[in-house]
Amino acid sequence: MSDDTPKLHKVLAQSGLGSRLEMEKLIIEGRITVNDELAHVGQRIKFGDRIKVNGRSLPVRIQAMPARVLAYHKPVGEIVSRDDPQSRPTVFRKLPRLYQGKWQAVGRLDLNTEGLLLFTSSGELANKLMHPRFGLEREYAVRVLGALSNIEKEKLLSGVNLEDGMAQFGSLEDGGGEGANCWYRVTIQEGRNREVRRMFEAVGHAVSRLIRIRYGKMVLPRGLKRGDWMELDAADIDQLTRSAGASHLGAAKPTHQAPAARPSTLRRTPSPNAKAGPSKELFIGADSLSRQRRDQKTAAARAKPRPRKAKI
């Protein structure tokens, strides 16, 4: 368990049962249990643990760990699952270790879809970001074979009938392209299985490439290479949690950072960024990586010892 979590005897003393030494004595005598197991001296406890003294429950206040959030650039060929009978590569293998809890993926991307995938240490935040009633918008860059007609665009915006019900895009914009390959930017407020692909197939167009470039207010950070992750700083997490109605969760101070990412190899000409989207002020994350790099350089420069002037 992380060293940031409090020790049992300290929490008991703070609750007014006695001194820390007296609490250690109670632990040694076997009069205290944590989650129905005998406690031991030096034991650390976390938010949600059940503590009993002499068989009686003791309500204690332990602050929940602040939320941590990762932005991961998922490449094609990875699955969003911890267990896979086929032993295919999983997105979880590259994430930093959590000493308490586990990383929870915010939504899913299928095997052949790439782009932004968020992870958080907070189950409550993950639920708010995914739950349909909060209606967080997802934005995708889609490359299809053949240009859409005006009638087909209208169908996708007004609604097409899929096996699991009606589905429609919130917006659909041209994104350029060459030859038979045409790019479009679409938004949708739900995440049914392969929904974007199935919608284009419903109007007779096969999707040859699909990239998620935004989830809610979080956009895919510029320069974040495929297969790399970055941890959001407190400012970005604060905006993200507010957008999901979970501002009380707070933000943990980032303790890990993936190696500095090189500029993305995604081709930009026919790509999702061929057409400017809504104002950048509405979204977060676009410049997060470059901002963190700049802050790291500034901190390193300040920490570098200055040469002493020679005495004359």
Per-residue pLDDT at 308: 66
Per-residue pLDDT at 254: 52
Q: Model confidence over 110-165: pLDDT tens digits?
A: 999 999 999 998 888 888 888 777 778 999 999 999 999 999 999 999 999 999 99
- For residues 284 and 239, the answer to whether their CB atoms sit within 8 Å is yes
- 270 or 60, greater pLDDT: 60
Per-residue pLDDT at 123: 82
Comparing C-alpha atoms, which of 32, 234, 274, 16 is closest to residue 143?
274
Band (pLDDT 50/70/90 cuts) for residue 311 is low
Q: Model confidence over 168-179: pLDDT tens digits?
A: 999 999 988 777
Per-residue pLDDT at 100: 65
Band (pLDDT 50/70/90 cuts) for residue 244 is confident
Clarify whether 110 is annotated catalytic: yes
Per-residue pLDDT at 259: 42
Q: Which residues contact 310 (CB under 8 A, 6 or more apart)?
A: none
Per-residue pLDDT at 82: 86
Q: Model confidence over 12-63: pLDDT tens digits?
A: 887 778 888 889 999 999 999 999 999 999 999 888 889 999 999 988 777 6
Comparing C-alpha atoms, which of 209, 261, 208, 188 is closest to residue 230?
261
Cα separation values, 284 from 180, 243, 273, 279, Å: 33, 11, 16, 11
CATH among 2.10.10.90, 3.40.605.10, 3.10.290.10, 3.30.230.10 for 8-57: 3.10.290.10
- 261 or 91, greater pLDDT: 91
From CA 97, how far away is CA 102, in angstroms rounded? 8
- For residues 285 and 236, the answer to whether their CB atoms sit within 8 Å is yes
- Looking from the CA of 73 toward its CB, the CA atoms found within 13 Å total 22
The residues that bridge with 174 in the sheet, in sequence order, are 184
From CA 39, how far away is CA 277, in angstroms rounded? 56
Q: Model confidence over 273-301: pLDDT tens digits?
A: 444 344 444 688 777 676 776 666 676 67
Per-residue pLDDT at 268: 34
SS3 track for the chain: CCCCCCEHHHHHHHCCCCCHHHHHHHHHCCCEEECCEECCCCCECCCCCCEEECCEECCCCCCCCCECEEEEEECCCCECCCCCCCCCCEHHHHCCCCCCCCCEEECCCCCCCEEEEEEECCHHHHHHHHCHHHCCCEEEEEEEECCCCHHHHHHHHHCEEECCEEECCCEEEEEEEECCEEEEEEEECCCCCCHHHHHHHHCCCCEEEEEEEEECCEECCCCCCCCCEEECCHHHHHHHHHHCCCHHHCECCCCCCCCCCCCCCCCCCCCHHHCCCCCHHHCECCCHHHHHHHHHHHHHHHHCCCCCCCCC
Per-residue pLDDT at 247: 57
Comparing C-alpha atoms, which of 219, 225, 217 is closest to residue 73?
225
From CA 147, how far away is CA 165, in angstroms rounded? 25
Identified catalytic residue from 3, 4, 49, 110: 110
Number of residues that this document lists for the chain: 312
Per-residue pLDDT at 295: 67
Per-residue pLDDT at 28: 95
Band (pLDDT 50/70/90 cuts) for residue 77 is very high
From CA 224, how far away is CA 262, in angstroms rounded? 7
Domain ranges of the chain: 8-57, 69-291
Residue type, 10: K
Per-residue pLDDT at 11: 87
CATH among 3.40.50.2000, 3.20.20.70, 3.40.190.10, 3.30.2350.10 for 69-291: 3.30.2350.10
Write out the two tokens for 304.
């570098």
Q: With the C-alpha atoms ordered 49, 52, 57, 59, is the resulting torsion angle positive or negative?
A: negative
